[in-house]
């Protein structure tokens, strides 16, 4: 059996088209949702991420603003930047690109973001709202994983779901989302015993450990849906060979480029799973998409008196 490939790029395009319609309606009602990105210093990877996020805003016609404090910024100066954005009524979403320089107290900055504008969903208030089933902003990557499952018609209600990883930004919110969608959820972490046996019982597996190709093909119940959140860059030839010996075209690409991106699930899982997100091209494209979705949702929730047409997108209606 070969797994159905769950194409994150296709789902991203669907959602972005829906969001564009919704932004058009909001704008016609006199409100243009806006995202402010705070990019500290000149870290090239951060610059690239923020550039992609601003480009996504343009794609759905969201307003965007970029603030670029220098790498020498202090915690107090950055707090003042965040406070200004909290007060600015045209800003619906605030994104502070991580990592911040070492002299800055990252936790303090993230907790200073108004939870109503916390479109990354990192604020403890939003995690608490999710835990207690109240409306709020959910971390983008797990929200994207849920969209993939839903839009691919994978039955969540009553399913046994296993989440590998318990971080505040992926594993924990993922488990809560699946639980609220009526799955029976098991959360695994580095101290979990008999991991293969637990995974073998799962109808849905979400792997978010940051360990390249860790989850083996024969741990997966035949036909299970597997969401691979891991993004691991492999540069070692022996490691690439271990993971990709059944995928000559990908090995060839590795040899040409010197690196390859793999998930936390061994690529051979394509022969056991019923449905599988590829890496790259599965969960990855969903994260920025859900940031856009959260910004529109934040605009709706914060400006609650607003009346929008009944054609609200399903991506943001939850």
Shortest reach from residue 37's CB to ligand NAP, in Å = 17
Is 216 a binding residue for ligand NAP by CB under 6 A? The answer is: no
Please say which residue, 26 or 315, places its beta carbon nearer to ligand NAP: 315
Selected from 64, 97, 272, 287, the binder of ligand NAP by CB under 6 A is: 287
- Give residues with Cβ within 8 angstroms of 249, minimum separation 6: none
For residue 166, state whether it binds ligand NAP (rule: CB under 6 A). yes
164 binds ligand NAP (CB under 6 A): yes
- 103 vs 190 by CB, closer to ligand NAP: 190
Compute the distance between CA of residue 119 and CA of residue 293 in angstroms, rounded to an integer: 9
- The only residue of 6, 178, 188, 273 in contact with ligand NAP, by rule CB under 6 A: 188
267 binds ligand NAP (CB under 6 A): no
Q: According to the binding rule CB under 6 A, does residue 231 interact with ligand NAP?
A: yes
> Which CB, 278 or 284, lies closer to ligand NAP?
284
- Residue from 36, 284, 290, 299 in contact with ligand NAP (CB under 6 A): 284
Catalytic entry in 118, 120, 264, 268: 120
- Residue with the CB atom nearest ligand NAP in the bound state: 167
Query: Is 53 among the catalytic positions?
Result: yes
| Residue 236 annotated in active site | no
Nearest approach in angstroms of CB 178 to ligand NAP is 15
Q: At what angle do helices 44-59 and 284-302 cross, to 10 degrees?
A: 60
Question: Sign of the CA dihedral 275, 279, 283, 286?
Answer: negative
* CA dihedral over 120, 90, 38, 44, signed as positive or negative: positive
229 binds ligand NAP (CB under 6 A): yes
Per the annotation, the verdict on 97 as an active-site residue is: yes
Binding mask 101-140 toward ligand NAP (x if CB under 6 A, else -) reads: ----------------------------------------
Omega prior to 286 cis, within 30 of 0: no
Cα distance between residue 50 and residue 56, in whole Å: 10
Residues assigned a catalytic role? 53, 97, 120
């Amino acid at each position: 059996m070969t797994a159905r490939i769950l194409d994150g790029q296709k789902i991203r395009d669907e959602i972005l088209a829906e969001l564009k319609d919704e932004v058009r309606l909001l704008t016609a009602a006199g409100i243009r949702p806006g995202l402010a990105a705070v990019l500290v210093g000149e870290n090239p990877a951060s610059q690239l991420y923020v550039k992609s996020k601003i480009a996504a805003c343009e794609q759905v016609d969201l307003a965007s603003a970029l603030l670029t404090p220098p790498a020498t910024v202090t915690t107090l100066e950055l707090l003042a930047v965040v406070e200004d954005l909290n007060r600015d009524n045209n800003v619906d979403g605030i994104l502070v690109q991580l990592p911040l320089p070492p002299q800055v107290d990252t936790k303090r900055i993230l907790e200073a973001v108004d939870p109503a504008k916390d479109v990354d969903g990192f604020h403890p208030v939003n995690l608490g709202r999710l835990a207690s089933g109240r409306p709020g902003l959910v971390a983008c990557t797990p929200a994207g994983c849920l969209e993939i499952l839903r839009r691919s018609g994978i039955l969540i209600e009553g399913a046994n779901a296993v989440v590998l990883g318990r971080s505040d930004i992926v594993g924990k919110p993922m488990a809560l989302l699946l639980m609220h969608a009526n799955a029976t959820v098991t959360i695994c972490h580095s101290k979990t015993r008999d991991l293969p046996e637990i995974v073998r019982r799962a109808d849905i597996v979400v792997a978010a450990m940051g360990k390249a190709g860790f989850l083996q093909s024969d741990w997966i119940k035949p036909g299970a849906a597997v969401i691979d959140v891991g993004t691991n860059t492999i540069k070692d030839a022996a490691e690439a060979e271990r993971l990709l010996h059944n995928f000559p075209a990908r090995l060839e690409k590795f040899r040409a480029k010197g690196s390859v991106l793999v998930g936390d699930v061994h690529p051979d899982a394509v022969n056991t799973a019923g449905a599988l997100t590829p890496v790259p091209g599965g969960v990855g494209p969903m994260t920025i998409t859900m940031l856009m979705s959260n910004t529109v949702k934040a605009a709706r929730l914060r400006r609650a008196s607003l009346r929008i047409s009944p054609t609200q997108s399903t991506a943001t209606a939850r």
